[in-house]
Amino acid sequence: MPRLDDPAAESLRVEARAADARLSAACRAGNIEAYEELYRAQSSRMKSIALNLLGNAHDAEDVVQETFLKIHRGIRYFKGQSAFSTWTYRILVNCCYDMRRKKTRRMETAEQDLVADDQTFDSPAPMHDHPLRMALEKCVQQLTPYLRSVFVLYEVEGFKHAEIGLMLGISEMASKNALYQAKRKLRELLSQQAGSGQMAASQS
């Protein structure tokens, strides 16, 4: 996913903002076609974010559906303080937090093995694979929700720190710091996994 950091992308961004404003106005009017347009434009990224934050595709789709309902309920409060798409991703991330909290609570009451479930990652096959991918996916699930969100939004989905700041309600610098913490923790977890893998190989 390309990161739109270069000045050449500025004109594209202006166009995108105009499209955002038109789309948000249509959604505010309760136009289903506008929601469909939003779905076509954002759902792939929304599903991917939700999948990486929640760990399974079924929950990810449920969260995307919930996000659209919340967009509809909250659209009258959207005053254009950020891009419409950024605002929708903010709702998505909050829905993911809620879903994860509910699941954790349910698991606690059902006395199931939370750690075991957290480490399972039921995801569709990636478009391009990387030798580290599977290990990384498991390690990402062990990060705190905050660090995981920043890592997924920046490294996986290619958002800028300024956009992440708006989505998570933090400063750009806080987003940079969180990304550094996340990567440092991932490096540590990956080293541990590599160590235990070597140990298991030597034992067998």
Partner 1 sequence: MAESQKGSPQFDCSNLEQALREESPELIAALEQHATSCESCRAELNIWREISAAALTMHKEWESPALWPRIENSLQTEIARPRGWRAWFADLNLIPQMRWQIALATLVLMAASGAGAWLLLHRSTSTPVNDAHLLTDQAVQQVEQAQKTYEQSIDKLAKLAEPKLNAASTPLLKNYREKLNLLDAAISECRTNLERNQANAYLRSELLSFYQEKQQTLEQVLREE
Lookup: tokens for 36:
């469909």
**Closest CB 40 distance from partner 1, rounded Å:** 8
Task: Work out whether 13 is an interface residue with partner 1 (CB under 8 A).
Answer: no
In this chain, which of 17, 26, 37, 47 binds partner 1, going by CB under 8 A?
Answer: 47
Stretch that binds partner 1, among 12-20, 41-49, 78-86, 112-120 (CB under 8 A): 41-49
- Token pair 């998505």 is found at 92
Residue 198 neighbours by CB under 8 Å, 6+ apart = none
Task: Work out whether 187 is an interface residue with partner 1 (CB under 8 A).
Answer: yes
Stretch that binds partner 1, among 17-25, 103-111, 135-143, 196-204 (CB under 8 A): 135-143
**Closest CB 129 distance from partner 1, rounded Å:** 6
Task: Work out whether 51 is an interface residue with partner 1 (CB under 8 A).
Answer: yes
What is the rounded CA–CA span in Å between residue 105 and residue 103?
Answer: 5
Contact 181, 173 (CB under 8 A): no
Stretch that binds partner 1, among 9-17, 50-58, 85-93, 102-110 (CB under 8 A): 50-58
**Closest CB 168 distance from partner 1, rounded Å:** 18
What is the rounded CA–CA span in Å between residue 66 and residue 111?
Answer: 27
Binders of partner 1 among residues 113 to 132 (CB under 8 A) are 123-132
Binders of partner 1 among residues 66 to 105 (CB under 8 A) are 68-69, 72-73
Annotate 104-142 with DSSP letters as a single string.
Answer: HHHHHHHT--HHHHHH--B-PPPSS--TTHHHHHHHHHT
Angle at 117 between CA 135 and CA 97, to 5 degrees: 90
- Quick one: 111 or 129, whose CB is closer to partner 1? 129
Taking Cα atoms as reference points, which of 76, 71, 63 lies closest to residue 36? 71
Contact 99, 62 (CB under 8 A): yes
Task: Work out whether 160 is an interface residue with partner 1 (CB under 8 A).
Answer: no
Task: Work out whether 57 is an interface residue with partner 1 (CB under 8 A).
Answer: yes
Phi and psi based region of residue 123 (left: phi greater than 0; alpha: psi -120 to 50; beta: remaining): beta
The residues binding partner 1 (CB under 8 A) are 1, 30, 32, 35-36, 39, 43-44, 47-48, 51-52, 57, 61, 64-65, 68-69, 72-73, 123-133, 136-137, 140, 151-152, 155-157, 176-177, 180, 183, 186-187, 190
